[in-house]
Amino acid sequence: MTLHVHDLTCARGGLPVLEGVSFTLAPGEALILRGPNGCGKTTLLRTIAGLQPSIAGEIEAPSDSIAYAAHADGIKAVLSVTENLQFWAETFGTASVEAAIDQMNLRALATRPAQTLSAGQKRRLGLARLLVTGRPIWALDEPTVSLDTDSVALFAGVVRAHLEQGGMALIATHINLGLPEAHVLDLSAYKARLPEEGAGGFDEAFL
Amino acid sequence: MRALLLRDLRLALRAGGGFGLGLAFFLILAVLVPLGVGPEPDTLALIAPGILWVGALLACLLSLDRIFALDFEDGSLDLLATAPVPLEAVVSIKALAHWITTGLPLVLVSPVLGLLLFLPAEAYGWLILSLLLGTPALSVIGSFGAALTVGLKRGGLLLSLLVLPLYIPTLVFGAEVVSRGTQGLTVGTPLALLAGITAGAVALLPFASALVLRINLR
């Protein structure tokens, strides 16, 4: 079980933003994606998660193995913390949400409606969802936004525990997560050259 | 799948879920028409099937943009698209949840509103039957329109313009079933066409909806 990305080119809005991205992620490994705003971190993660097609290159991963966490947490405001997690646990076919609630320090908030949570608490709930998916490869897009330093440390501990169980993590972030063992990939080295005018063809404007 | 259906029903029923919106609109329409048209029972009985069908259709239209827009905004749709559930099933379940919270209540209250419009006694059975057969098509066709417009801010106008032409066959045959049934004529043809439209929409449109959702999520 490895995630193998080979010579990948991905596009946003019809224009290539990254080309020639290659890396391999083995069980127990984490890869931190770095690069300036707009360099294509989110695009790369969405492509690997299967939400958009790549232009060229290959992504080799076992099917249904990637859990994706975006900027938006997919939280329903009128459902409680437990109900939100329960829904994702049932959708992904895993049994219990209790462990995830404890690991992300949500026990005291378990029965609160999600609309009463603060931004950082919502983030913790969004990250707890990763634990209930039961999937080995985590693709995380700026997971620490609005988390305080204690919660960042808590989250780093959760990622480390996931890696120790043979999981993998692909994390786009700007801050130091406190995961010294993780490899770092600077995406600014893979910036795509803009195609020549009109190379995309007429249809491209409508896709 | 069951979890998604239960979640959608729960969200619709809780505060701010918009469960009563279509129902209230249907009620208001049926109460206002006698006031506007005048109280003559003969006139009202003549237009009642058409009014009830138009009312049901517009009430359905009112809540369509919520089907995918809310899940798109909070990121749930991205997460559902990466979940181990086919997107075609997600679309079908969400259309079913929309029908249970919008179409089914309309079917259930339609006899009461028929009373307000002096609907003839023999028409009630046909009204309930035609709405029961026709409203699932409204939800499924509507979910296709909602999938097409999901990425757009304030896509409600475009959604209505896209969906209304597709609703017309259902409206024509649905109202035809009720008026022919009331006059004691044979209803086989419009009833078969109404059921056929629903069966076709339920069988084919989820695939189209899932495809346009995937394109809109890119």
* Count of CB pairs separated by less than 8 Å, A with B: 67
- Average of pLDDT values for A19-34? 89
CA proximity to A126, closest of B68, B80, B76:
B76
Task: Spell out which residues of chain B touch residue A86, defining contact as CB-CB under 8 Å.
Answer: 3
Residue B12 lies in a domain: no
Task: pLDDT band for A205, please (50, 70, 90 cuts).
Answer: low
Residue B141 lies in a domain: yes
Each residue's pLDDT tens digit, B76-89: 898 888 888 899 99
Residue B180 lies in a domain: yes
Each residue's pLDDT tens digit, A141-153: 988 888 888 888 8
The distance of B42 to chain A (nearest Cα, Å) reads 47
> Total structural domains in chain B?
1
Residue B5 lies in a domain: no
Task: pLDDT band for A92, please (50, 70, 90 cuts).
Answer: confident
User: What is the share, in percent, of chain A residues with pLDDT greater than 70?
Assistant: 93
Residue B107 lies in a domain: yes
pLDDT for res B98: 92
Q: Say yes or no: A110 contacts chain B, CB-CB below 8 A.
A: no
Residue B28 lies in a domain: yes
Task: Spell out which residues of chain A touch residue B2, defining contact as CB-CB under 8 Å.
Answer: 90
Task: Spell out which residues of chain B touch residue A54, defining contact as CB-CB under 8 Å.
Answer: none
CB contact under 8 A, A91 and B85: yes
pTM: 0.89
Give the Cα separation of A174 and B111 in Å (integer).
61
The distance of A90 to chain B (nearest Cα, Å) reads 6
CB contact under 8 A, B84 and A87: no
CB contact under 8 A, B7 and A79: yes
Q: Which residues of chain B have pLDDT under 70?
A: 15-17
CB contact under 8 A, A75 and B74: yes
Residue B7 lies in a domain: no
User: What is the share, in percent, of chain B residues with pLDDT greater than 90?
Assistant: 55
Residues in chain B: 218
**Nearest CB to B15; choose among A49, A74, A78:** A78
Superfamily of domain A29-51+65-184: P-loop containing nucleotide triphosphate hydrolases (3.40.50.300)
CB contact under 8 A, A91 and B83: yes
Q: Is the pLDDT of residue A207 over 60?
A: no
Task: Spell out which residues of chain A touch residue B83, defining contact as CB-CB under 8 Å.
Answer: 88, 91-92
User: What average pLDDT does chain A have?
Assistant: 85
Per DSSP, the residues of chain A read --EEEEEEEEEETTEEEEEEEEEEE-TT-EEEEE--TTSSHHHHHHHHTTSS--SEEEEE--TT-EEEE-SS----TTSBHHHHHHHHHHHTT---SHHHHHHTT-GGGTTSBGGGS-HHHHHHHHHHHHHHHT-SEEEEESTTTT--HHHHHHHHHHHHHHHHTT-EEEEE-SS--S-TTSEEEEGGGGBPPPPPTTTT-SGGGG-
Q: Say yes or no: A24 contacts chain B, CB-CB below 8 A.
A: no
Give the Cα separation of B174 and B198 in Å (integer).
11
Each residue's pLDDT tens digit, A52-63: 888 888 888 888
Each residue's pLDDT tens digit, B8-28: 888 888 866 677 888 899 999
Residue B172 domain boundaries:
18-217
pLDDT for res B195: 95
Task: pLDDT band for A96, please (50, 70, 90 cuts).
Answer: confident
The distance of A73 to chain B (nearest Cα, Å) reads 6
Residue B37 lies in a domain: yes
**Nearest CB to A92; choose among B71, B84, B217:** B84
Q: Is the pLDDT of residue A27 over 70?
A: yes
Task: Spell out which residues of chain B touch residue A71, defining contact as CB-CB under 8 Å.
Answer: 75
